[in-house]
């Protein structure tokens, strides 16, 4: 029987790349995101290309009630999830604390922290009866360092760091692996979302350096997932060669 991976934020960037990687490895997939057109297109493409089955879950991880109802409505056989990639997340704005938009703060905390928690609670309860499973939380360099104007996004990713450690402790007795993947700069839709559609500003983030691409992170996730049963990678910090810290980069 094929293994199952549940990937949140599967319609773009790292999540979409993970969907490709796991599909290529023969996993059946539960793909979750909010943009239906993209979800449908990606799922059909992968089902056509690989001999796998996909369940599309149109949901917002912030909406606890709808998320719970939608996930719990999946057929029992789909709840035997082997790998959960808690990837859905975003940054909104890059402002000093006194000028930050409180709606942006709510969006980041609700998505990156509370959304990840809701999904983790649901899926860990599916994994416990199997006494196995692997939860991959996508953190960030922003969960290891705090940079100017990064305040709330950094706090949300520091929370992911703490929750990864806490989840690992709490699920230890159940044989469930928990891993944090912490990327530096990855060129995806991330900066366009952070700057609310300002593509020129987003492009400048990656100007004159070679950032990571989503496939680099999916590759690392596959490495982590494919270790032997007795090996867990707790934490991986992955940077572009041109980036030393959150703020020190080499632009040639």
Q: Which residues contact ligand NDP by CB under 6 A?
A: 8-15, 33-35, 38, 60-62, 87-90, 111, 115, 138, 140, 183, 185-186, 188-190, 193, 214
Query: What is the rounded distance in angstroms from the CA atom of residue 134 to the CA atom of residue 6?
Result: 10
Please state the closest distance from residue 158 (CB atom) to ligand 8X3, in A: 11
Helix axes 36-49, 13-24, angle to 10 degrees: 20
Residues that bind ligand 8X3 (CB under 6 A): 140-142, 150, 185, 246
9 or 150, CB closer to ligand 8X3? 150
Instruction: Judge whether 27 counts as a catalytic residue.
Output: no
Helices (H) and strands (E) in the chain, counts: 9, 9
- The backbone torsions φ and ψ at residue 216, rounded to the nearest 5 degrees and listed phi first, read -60, -40
CA distance 85 to 48: 23
Binder of residue 93, out of ligand 8X3, ligand NDP, none (CB less than 5 to 8 A by kind): none
Given 27, 50, 118, 153, the catalytic residue: 153
Q: Are 32 and 8 in contact (CB under 8 A)?
A: yes
Give the integer Cα–Cα distance in Å for 190 and 20: 19
From the list ligand 8X3, ligand NDP, none, partner contacted by residue 246 (C-beta under 5 to 8 A by kind): ligand 8X3
Tell me which of ligand 8X3, ligand NDP, none is bound by residue 133, counting a contact when its beta carbon lies within the kind-specific cut-off of 5 to 8 angstroms.
Answer: none
Distance CA(18)–CA(10), nearest Å, equals: 8
**Shortest Cβ distance from residue 144 to ligand NDP (Å)?**
10
Active site residues: 153
């Amino acid at each position: 029987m094929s293994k199952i991976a549940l990937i949140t934020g599967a319609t773009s960037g790292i999540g979409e790349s993970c969907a490709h990687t796991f599909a290529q490895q023969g996993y059946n997939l539960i793909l979750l995101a909010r943009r239906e057109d993209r979800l449908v297109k990606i799922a059909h493409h992968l089902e056509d290309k690989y001999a796998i089955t996909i369940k599309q879950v149109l949901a917002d991880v912030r909406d606890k009630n709808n998320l719970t109802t939608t996930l719990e409505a999946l057929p029992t056989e789909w709840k035997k999830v082997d790998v959960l990639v808690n990837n859905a997340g975003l940054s909104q704005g890059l402002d000093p604390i006194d000028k930050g938009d409180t709606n942006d703060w709510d969006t980041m905390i609700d998505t990156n922290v509370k959304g990840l928690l809701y999904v983790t609670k649901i899926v860990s309860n599916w994994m416990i009866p199997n006494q196995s499973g692997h939860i991959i939380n996508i953190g960030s360099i922003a969960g290891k360092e705090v940079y100017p104007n990064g305040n709330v996004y950094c706090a949300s990713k520091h929370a992911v760091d703490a929750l990864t450690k806490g989840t690992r402790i709490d699920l230890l007795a159940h044989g469930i692996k928990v891993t944090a993947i912490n990327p530096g700069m990855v060129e995806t839709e991330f900066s366009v979302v952070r700057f609310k559609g300002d593509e020129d500003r987003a492009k400048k983030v990656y100007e004159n350096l070679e950032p990571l691409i989503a496939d680099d992170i999916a590759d690392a996730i596959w490495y982590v997932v494919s270790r032997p049963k007795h090996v867990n990678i707790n934490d991986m910090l992955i940077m572009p060669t041109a980036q030393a810290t959150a703020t020190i980069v080499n632009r040639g």
